[in-house]
A and B are shown apart, each in its own frame.
Chain A
């Protein structure tokens, strides 16, 4: 088993290195991209860890958390907040929304035990429908929303993109730092790293608490946990809420770096990409560590940056690399799920 644990990350490393070589990517460019992307995406990946610990598998429902973050971002900007204060306000706002969304998702998971992953995936699609209905129709009609810059010319519904310039780089540049490398000035989001570090530490801390131990026990065998007096259902709900809120915050960190919100699309790929990033590190449906979350983010986003360029260099067309990247992302998820199903069958046989 030991060898296969490293097989996936090594394969990805090889792919990344090949891409870097093929596209002749300069270290300065790659480093600049990675510095930014690490701060931007890590928290979303971290938000997956607690449900895995609690035996809920990969939480495809973080898409719903991301929506909570976006709702908060839209409102914060609409109400004229900006800078770090505005960002803090958005986080504060995202928390209760995330808790409510997480509670709803978690209640759903408790009714679909053993099928949390597919339930989360479909719940994400369903929530997307409600989200669109809300922002495309309810805003400006049922809900008064007077902001011509954000609303479509017809008078209701949000525009396709929302400008988040007021809170852009609110955290990234809180401690402003540029690194000159080979003539390019690289943005190093020190404050974001501090926050990511804080969340890593918090997750690790949580693993070591009594509740973390309860989650771990549930993840191994909910029946035994129940017999030992652990409130399994309530803890599953809690795990989902924690994950959803963390995902809402993660999406806010993502948006403050990007600076614009694709109102109707930004959240769509959040789940897939975060999950693919985690799995690339060799994490599985039932076991993932903080280190794997960070390593996975690095590897997956290296491939993200490299593959269109490699595609262009090799096939003369960036789209080829793009296809390849999407193919790889889904392939990794598929492989992880198949492996998981296969191991479950083997365990059942052994029992």
Chain B
């Protein structure tokens, strides 16, 4: 789309058949793409499509080495490379503008731009201890930084501390830092506009065009499809670790891009009719705000009907996870929530449990489980605390002794019912696989005999077989025991196969409420914050 013609330009980056496995789980299945000097190449895909794994490989992040390396070739500027540390990638001429800011708030703008690349003067200690004891050359730092900031069109004072600057400025400082690197060949933008306002995003895209025209290759990771349309010369759509298609952004409609990105839903979508939707309202949420770091909820209202399975979807960081965490009192929340016709106190995790709501957290090891404890106690704990189950009678409530036998038989029953693969109820939870840990979490929630169950990321980090089993368990809870479910998941296909209704959250608000059989385009657009079609 942009003016630069790239037909004859040299190739800056080439990926050939790159593969990556995490513990037998193939997350990249032979990805090939190339970026030429002076072009903007957009890489789009849902969360979990493999974008960040690809970036980690390119940048030599230690996590790749620690999990067994990767297959295929990365060719940077004609030479095959295999980075094992970010420094090597940087030295080779690769730059990255991170999604979350890699800036030091207490440092000045210029100091951040020149971080660890400071121009120096030799000092009296340098001959003995080396260049690391050179003194910092502030004047050159300032002038270099000024030049870099001018190139990205920022007129901010380079000597101000970064703390307190508007968020939009920070993104440009990151870019200025990359631009200042003299050997820059390839610049990666990882969802750079996610935190920007529209006018800031517009300026950023303009800056990207300017760099590209100076001969730098740009890999632009995003899920804002209109931006792809606006600046990208070429694009690659990634889904489930595979390149789906590399359409020409100039001639492909945004709707078609969205369809490519989301893909066909798994078979059995819309399997459930809206039969449960006739029930009375179990939960009604109005103007919910949740201050969950990384997943803030800005203003969300919705109702849940009895017997229904409500899905909540959306991209990472948009706030979908914050909703259940806020209602269940794990993060500071405000707004009005009514459960079974009675107002529901927020910011009180205990009250939520007592009232018959239960929660399976996305953070299994942090919030969900006491990993050092055994299965028995993990299953019993919430009910024990909130409802006084598994306690022997004693006049003073606080001193009631544990009823070990009741806990044991309950745990045994749960292990059988949920098919938890374990050596026995006394096994430590941390020794279980992810899927079995998730089953323990669900068993604990079931022990509370909830009428309403929130489940965040039911299948995150567990293998395929266990995924099926976990979803089956949840479905049977809903079908056989009439538990109303609110399931939040990053896996849209899962929600579409499983839920009666799906809310898509974007920027902390409900972007759309869709039926599971709504079109791919509707889902794609809603997740990218576009206008909803229905």
Contacts and interface: CB of A to CB of B under 8 A. Distances in A.
Given A220-B104, A224-B102, A229 B118 contact: no
Interface stretch (A67-75, A132-140, A202-210): A202-210
Interface of B: 86-87, 90, 98, 102-107, 111, 115-116, 118, 120, 123, 125, 131-136, 291, 293
The DSSP consensus for interface residues of chain B is loop
A210 B132 contact: yes
Contacts of B102: 223-224, 227-228
Interface stretch (A11-19, A162-170, A211-219): A211-219
A216 B114 CA distance: 14
Contact of B116 (A212, A217, A223, A349): A217
B132 A351 contact: no
Given A217-B116, A228-B116, A229-B86, A210 B105 contact: no
Interface string A129-169: 00000000000000000000000000000000000000000
A221 interface: yes
Interface in A173-210: 205-206, 208-210
A175 to B, nearest CB: 24
B116 A214 contact: yes
A20 B530 CA distance: 73
7 contacts: A209-B135, A210-B120, A210-B133, A210-B136, A213-B136, A217-B116, A229-B87
Contact of B104 (A224, A226, A348, A351): A224
Contacts of A10: none
A163 to B, nearest CB: 37
Contact of B132 (A211, A216, A220, A227): A211
A108 interface: no
Given A205-B123, A221-B104, A224-B103, 5 more contacts: A209-B123, A209-B136, A210-B120, A229-B86, A229-B87
Contact of A213 (B105, B111, B291): B111
Interface of A: 205-206, 208-214, 216-217, 220-221, 223-230, 348-349, 351
Nearest to B120: A210
Nearest to A351: B293
Given A217-B116, A224-B103, A230-B116, A210 B131 contact: yes
Which of the listed residues B115, B134, B293 has the most CB atoms from chain A within 10 Å of its own CB?
A: B115
Nearest to A223: B102
The DSSP consensus for interface residues of chain A is helix
A210 B107 contact: no
Given A209-B123, A210-B118, A214-B116, A220 B106 contact: yes
Contacts of A229: 86-87, 90, 116
Shortest beta-carbon contacts, A-B, top 9: A229-B87, A228-B116, A220-B104, A211-B132, A228-B115, A224-B102, A209-B133, A220-B106, A227-B102
A217 B104 contact: yes
Nearest to A348: B293
Nearest to A231: B87
Nearest to B87: A229
Contacts of B105: 220
Contacts of A230: 115-116
A226 B62 CA distance: 11
Contacts of B87: 229
A67 B293 CA distance: 45
A208 B115 contact: no
Nearest to A220: B104
Nearest to B133: A209
Contacts of B135: 205, 208-210
A210 B135 CA distance: 6
A217 B115 contact: yes
Contacts of B115: 213, 217, 224-225, 228, 230
A324 to B, nearest CB: 37
Given A210-B132, A351-B293, A227 B106 contact: no
Contacts of A225: 104, 115-116
Which of the listed residues B90, B134, B135, B291 has the most CB atoms from chain A within 10 Å of its own CB?
A: B135
A216 B136 CA distance: 13
B118 A213 contact: yes
A95 to B, nearest CB: 14
Nearest to B115: A228
B133 A220 contact: no
A225 B132 CA distance: 15
Contacts of B111: 213
